[in-house]
Structure 1
Amino acid sequence: MEENGKNVPEEVKGWNWGAFVYAIFWGIGNKTYLPLLCLIPVFNFVWIFVCGFKGNEWAWQKGDYKDVETFKAVQSTWNRAGLVNFIVSIVFLAAYFIFIAVLISSVANLKNY
């Protein structure tokens, strides 16, 4: 596949957690500005998934990487940070819902006394 005059190697393609979680910052850091569309309310929910799927391709096309290994090394930092942030967010969200459920249950039990 060739866009903007740059071939995208197959080993570059794939999911990018950094582009998914940190879309706007990742886009600016990788000189690709399509992730700025995440600033549009409602549309952003769909666009973060597009960023996750297409992020590596966009970064490869806009970057001046000498080889695939260098590209992967740079993106692995973004991927690691994005994945850790995603997991921590899910854990906090689950803890929040458990807390709310316990709180509602406690209030309901107090009304029975």
Structure 2
Amino acid sequence: MTNPYVAPNSDVNVDADNNSGQKSDIVPEGVKGWSWGAFFFSWIWAIFNKTYIGLLALVPYIGFIFSIYLGIKGRELAWKNKQWESIEHFNSVQRKWSIWGVCFLLIAIVGIVAAVALPAYVEYKNAVGGV
């Protein structure tokens, strides 16, 4: 007898309470919340999480709006669209996406500060006769 809780054509075993990947309107506690990974890596995140509406983030002028939408609703959409082993597995994967998103933000901030500060520093050094 086969396990009724194994998704067809899948190696992922799911719990009886796990409704991930079934596009159900009922989302378990601990799934909803902001996703930095979905916000910063919108189209890559969307492909990985089978949330293909996120590819609209590539469209000029509406991409940023869709990135915000994915940041707000992304975790919920990922739960509905992809089969996950458990809520713990889902949260673990989404946490990694968020960590990479925050790292990207920090690197971007450092890069912007450096792009502004370095030319100003070089100009200052030239003005005071250094170099």
For 1:73, give the aligned amino acid: S
| Cα distance in 1 between the residues matched to 2:122 and 2:27 | 52
- Does residue 39 of structure 2 align to residue 4 of structure 1? no
CA 96–52 in structure 1, closer or farther in 2 if over 3 Å, else same: same
1:52-103 CA-to-partner distances (Å, cap 9, x unmatched) read 1111011000111232111101111111111111111111111112124345
Q: Does 1:37 align with 2:26?
A: no
Q: Hey, what's the Cα distance between the residues in 2 that align with 1:10 and 1:100?
A: 49
Aligned to 2:92, which of 57, 61, 73? 73
Asked whether 1:21 is paired with 2:25, we answer: no
Q: Deviations over 1:21-66 (max 9, x none)?
A: 1110000000001111111112112221111111101100011123
* Distance in 2 separating the partners of 1:15 and 1:38: 17
* 3-state SS of paired residue (1:7): coil
* Aligned partner (choices 33, 49, 59) of residue 68 of structure 2: 49
Q: TM-score, normalised by structure 2?
A: 0.71
Instruction: Report which of the two structures shows the higher radius of gyration computed on alpha carbons.
Output: 2
AA partner of residue 68 (structure 1): I
Percent identical: 36
State how far apart, in whole Å, the 1-side matches of 2:65 and 2:124 are.
Answer: 35
Calculate the TM-score normalised by the size of structure 1: 0.81
Partners of 1:46 and 1:105 in 2: how far apart? 40
Structure 1 residues 79-94: aligned runs within 5 Å: 79-94=98-113
**Cα separation, 2, equivalents of 1:53 and 1:10:** 16
More deviation in 4-13 or 45-54? 4-13
Q: Distance in 2 between matches of 1:4 and 1:73?
A: 21
Q: Which runs of 5+ in 2 are unaligned?
A: 1-21
Shift of 1:6: 4.2
